[in-house]
Structure 1
């Protein structure tokens, strides 16, 4: 395998140049730094139409969670802006509404609390 190789997202085999099959699937965890218009879509590569179908079926089973996408948009803005931002400024910078930003932050905080409880056996709020 070389740095320029393209491989199948299903079987991980290197695909001969020009033989790849590409597609896009909905994915709320996909957020892009340079092309914001692609947020929420993941681009996949397969070695055959059959493997592209496998990928589409996998992503069809994964729920699209708006809050997950919004958290990604917020993270992108925070990565570039190290100053504290009020929620209204964060909404403006992400293209979201204030209620969407609030829901995204609540969703992320709930996920963190679940993770913390699983890792430490202690509710996150009690350990701080």
Structure 2
């Protein structure tokens, strides 16, 4: 193995393309166009309450996006600026990350220690997550009813 190469990932399935993530790194977040060596490409940091950065809590709530041109950068900036900032969404992401890191089960003091959140913030994060699930299930049910699909379908 060349010294510059990363060691193989023991979790990776045989035959998986370990460069697959790199394919996504070179596209415009607005239009999906390949960026490649485009000299007009721009990287921007935007506020996004759904962005969680494991091990770097100071970056939580911030997302790096890229655009193929200044017009698409402006469109992305406007899109993220119009998206509501929800503290509870950020807290929900942190809570569920902490639970996942502990194998799917964690006690409140552990979650607070892992996330830096107060017990009240943990509670509100869980409520926000559950509310989002209820809303998603409702949207699916309404769509199925509108399409004439019954439960058996």
TM-score category of the 2 structures, normalised to the smaller one: 0.7 to 0.9
Partner residue of 1:60?
81
1:82 paired residue among 100, 103, 109: 103
* Larger proportion of strand: 1
TM-score by length of 2: 0.68
Q: Which runs of 4+ in 1 moved over 6 A?
A: none
Q: Greater Rg, structure 1 or structure 2?
A: 2
C-alpha RMSD of the superposition? 2.2
Partner residue of 1:107?
128
What are structure 2's unaligned runs of at least 5 residues?
Answer: 1-21, 143-153
TM-score by length of 1: 0.80
Structure-1 separation of matches of 2:25 and 2:132: 36
Bigger relative contact order, structure 1 or 2 (CA pairs below 8 A, ≥6 apart): 1
How many pairs were matched up? 120
Given the superposition, is the C-alpha separation of residues 12 and 118 from structure 1 closer, same or farther in structure 2, using an over 3 Å criterion?
A: closer
What are structure 1's unaligned runs of at least 5 residues?
Answer: 122-128
Q: Is this contact kept in 2: 1:74–1:94, CA < 8 A?
A: yes
Structure-1 separation of matches of 2:66 and 2:45: 9
Structure-2 separation of matches of 1:98 and 1:4: 37
